[in-house]
Amino acid sequence: DSMLRVWKTMSINNHYDVKTFWQGIKSKVTALAWHPTKEGCLAFGTDDGKVGIYDTYSNKPPQVSSTYHKKTVYTLVWGPSVPPLSLRGDGDRPSITLY
């Protein structure tokens, strides 16, 4: 149903307490990764190759990358911060972008 949901497992009164965060994802969510040090920061990847970041403590919509893969995102891993870098190719050589 293309929704992000997080269950509140610490809820004493309701074992099925769930928060629906965002319903605007256009394709199936295929990968999730919590940030290792920023609590509430959740990255997601989709079946159509998009990657987004959602702050579960905010009511704002997620940040979704404007450039993305052409195929399904199967795995996400957080890494150290790097300055943005973009390399372009000629002809049919692909370009590479790091964020």
Residue-wise DSSP of 10-28 = T-SS-TT-EEEEE----S-
Instruction: Judge whether 82 lies within some domain.
Output: yes
Instruction: Judge whether 14 lies within some domain.
Output: no
Q: Considering the entire predicted model, what is its pTM?
A: 0.69
Instruction: Judge whether 30 lies within some domain.
Output: yes
Instruction: Judge whether 76 lies within some domain.
Output: yes
The tokens for 52 are 């987004």
Residue 98 has pLDDT above 60, yes or no: no
Domain count, the chain: 1
How confident is the model at residue 74, as a pLDDT? 92
Domain span holding position 76: 19-98
pLDDT tens digits, 42-81: 999 988 898 888 888 887 878 888 777 788 999 999 988 7
